[in-house]
Chain A
Amino acid sequence: MKLNENFVLKTVAGSAVVMPVGEAVTKVHGMIKLNPTAEIIWKALEAGKDFDGIVQALKDSCNGVDEAMLKEDVAVFLEKLRSYGILED
């Protein structure tokens, strides 16, 4: 799993925002605001983590979450990223 390099994550005044650049500007108009959970997933992807690595990163940051539910949510989010062309392969 690899993030498309034409999407840039930056924290602006405490709020995580993903901006399209280059070719991606024609695919995604505007920008994407990430909530804290999505930000953890994004950073795990940036660090080259696989699916289990992402789930682990989330488990480390929030205690007592149901692992099955977490996996399902991560899968849904990754699918969404793929549909926008943000996540490649």
Chain B
Amino acid sequence: MLLSVADLIVQVEPKYNLLKTRSVPYIYSGEKKPDVIINLSDKFFSDRQKENPHLSIDECEYIYTGFYFYTEIVKFDGVMLHASAVQYENFAYLFSANSGTGKSTHTHLWLKKFPTAEILNDDKPAIRLIDGKYYAFGTPWSGKFDESINTKTEIAGITFLERGETNTIEKVSGGDVTIDFLNQTVRPGKKEYMIPFMEVLDKILSNVPVYKMKCNISLEAVETSYRAMKRS
């Protein structure tokens, strides 16, 4: 079957339920040829499951097709960021951090504060540079819960979160968060992917506003991030 994900045509044949279900909103029935072909064998998934016995075969297919897609996307000026992305007033706001920090908690507070805000992708948005603008995309690969919408939204900014007693946010330079970004993405293993990957990372971090924030769980935290990140 063909999917349209992050403005790319993806050919994949899901065998298990999780990927099948998550793919439905992305099904493509047009005439375009696939940009990315995901063709991983049953053996590949069962080998991954042996390495990760806590995962079901269903989850293995879901996770590793995601890794595959997010590695291929570097050929199309794109990367994945482990982040929760919320969209509001036509812009996407991305919050990245280690699992368990509270990025999803923070973006869900945005939904409380702003009734028209929506979660674009709760865990693994794709980011692509298209015609000089940086966009975040919902994708079928969005983490534990199916919180992703099939849409494309220009990025207002990317914030790296830490927990704090009070709420503070600081605009930083891209070089200050290079390592943070690298820790929250899929790093390609092959040289022919690594070079374009680093090139797109350089473009993103040189052009998209980036921030470091310490925050608690409150609507005041949302006011702090929104005020700093919003585009005028």
Residues of A within 8 A of B (CB): 5-6, 8, 10-15, 17, 19, 21-22, 25, 30-31, 33
Contact = CB atoms under 8 A, between A and B. Distances in A.
Contacts, number: 57
A12 B201 contact: yes
B144 interface: no
B187 A13 contact: no
Given A8-B191, A13-B206, A15-B175, 4 more contacts: A5-B191, A13-B175, A15-B178, A17-B198
A22 to B, nearest CB: 6
A12 B181 CA distance: 11
Contacts of A33: 178-179
29 contacts: A5-B191, A6-B191, A8-B195, A10-B198, A12-B198, A12-B201, A13-B178, A13-B202, A13-B206, A14-B175, A14-B206, A15-B174, A15-B175, A15-B176, A15-B178, A17-B179, A17-B198, A19-B187, A19-B194, A19-B198, A21-B188, A21-B190, A22-B189, A22-B191, A30-B182, A31-B182, A31-B187, A33-B178, A33-B179
Interface of B: 173-176, 178-179, 182-183, 187-191, 194-195, 198-199, 201-202, 205-206
A30 B187 CA distance: 9
